[in-house]
Amino acid sequence: MKRLFLFILLIMITTPIPGCTLITGEETYELDEILIDTDFERMLGYVPYSFLEENEVWFINFGKAKEMYKIEDITSIEDAKNLPEERLEAVRNALTETGGTIPIWRSRELSPVIGFDGMANDRIIMIGVVPPKIFSILEGDFDEELITDLLTQMVLAAMNRLAVLDDMIIVSPATEYVTGIFDAMAGDIPSITDNDACLALADSLGDVFAAVMTTPEMTVFAFPQAEEEIRFDFTIPEDWGLLHRYEMSALGYRAEGEKRFLVIALYYANEEDARADGAEIVKRMGDYILGTYHERMENIPFTEQYQPGEPVVQQYLEGFVLSIECELIPEGRLGAAFHMGGMGVPRDMLFLIPDPSIYVGKSQEQEIIVR
C-alpha cells in the first residue's frame, strides 16, 4: 500500500526583487523591481534549487492554451469525445501549443486508475525527462476525493509518492522529492526563484505556454554523460567562434496575438560576454540546419522555421540576461516544442553550445578560434 499525503498550503506568490536595468543598443531603462507575476515564476518557487543542479525543469501552461482556444470546460479526455469538429480542432490546437513533454501517467488508459488524465491539469512543473525519474507538480481543478480513493491501491513506479493538496497534485517516485518540495514551499530551503540567475531568466521569458530551464551542461541533452552518443551531422562553418560560458539557460514558447515566438535566454556574469555572444548566436542561426542529429529527420534551415530577432541584453542585479526572440514562420509552427527537447529527445540547438564541435561527427576536423 503506497503512502498518500494530504496537505493544504497557502503560498505567497508575489515577491519584489529590486534593481533591474534594460540595455538595448545605446539606451538604458531603469526598472524598479521584478515581480513574480507569471505562472512559470510562481511555480518555480515550489521547486528546490538543488533539483535543478541534477535535472532540467519543464513548465507547461495548458490552462493558458485552453483559455486562448475557449475550451476551459474540457477537463478530461472523455470530455473531448464526440465534440463537433470545430471544437475538436480547438482542443488539438491547445495541445499543440503545449506539446513536447507528456508523462506516461497522463494517458486515457490510466485515468480510471488514478482519477485524472492529461486534460485535467492547467499547469505542470516537471523535473527530469526520463521515467521513472520524473516527478511533477500539477495545478488544476482536481477531484481530490476520487483521486484519494483510487490511489490507495498500487500505482506506477513514477507515482510511488503522491500528495493531493488544494487544487494541486505532487507526483514523485520517492519520498525525499515530495518532502523537498514541501520544504521549498514553506521557505525552509532555497527554491529555484531564490536564485538570481533563475529568476532573471524566468522573468525574461514572459508569460509562456511552455518553458524549460537548464544548465549549460544540459543545453543540448539532459544527460551530460551522453554527449559522446549524440552526434549532429552538421558541418560547422569556419567563421563560427566559441561562445563565452553562460551560467544558466532557459527556453520559452510564447504567444503574442497570432504570432508565436521561441525565446532563448542565457544568463551571464559579464555584460560584454553577453553582447558578443548575442551577435555570434544570431550569426550561427543563419547557418544552422535543423534535424541533423537523426538520419530519418528532415533537414531544414533554421531560418525557414524561425525569424531571429535582434539580441537584447538586460541587467538583473549583478548579472545579465541575453535574450533572442525567434518568431515562428507559420508554416513551421508545429516544430517549436519539439525543437525545445524533452522526454529524452535532444534539443536541436547546437548553435547554443559554446564549443559545438563536441557534438558533431568524430571524423570532422574543425578549427575554431578560442577566445
Q: Of 162, 194, 226, which closes a domain? A: 194
Domain contains 296: yes
pLDDT digit string, tens, across residues 42-87: 999 999 999 888 888 999 998 899 999 999 888 777 788 888 999 9
* 174 & 289 share domain: no
* 156 & 189 share domain: yes
> What mean pLDDT is reported for the chain?
78
Tell me how far the alpha carbon of residue 70 is from its chain's centroid.
24
Mean pLDDT of 274-285: 97
Rounded to two decimals, the pTM is 0.82
Domain contains 15: no
At 358, which amino acid appears?
I
Burial class (CB in 10 A: 0-12, 13-18, 19+), 132: middle
* 167 & 236 share domain: no
Nearest to 199 by CA among 352, 314, 34, 60: 34
Domain contains 207: no
* 95 & 232 share domain: no
Beta strand residue intervals within the chain, DSSP E:
4-6, 17-24, 27-34, 57-60, 121-127, 135-140, 161-165, 168-172, 210-214, 248-256, 259-268, 289-290, 300-301, 306-308, 312-316, 319-328
* 189 & 154 share domain: yes
pLDDT digit string, tens, across residues 143-172: 666 666 666 564 544 456 777 777 888 887
Cell representation of residue 57: 525543469
Domain contains 243: yes
Mean pLDDT of 267-295: 95
Distance, CA of 147 to CA of 362 (rounded, Å): 51
Confidence of residue 261 (pLDDT cuts 50, 70, 90): very high
Q: Report the domain count for the chain.
A: 2
Spatial neighbors of 311 by CB under 8 A, at least 6 apart, are 275, 278, 279, 281, 282, 322, 323, 324
Query: For residue 86, what are the domain limits?
Result: 4-9+38-194
Distance, CA of 287 to CA of 280 (rounded, Å): 11
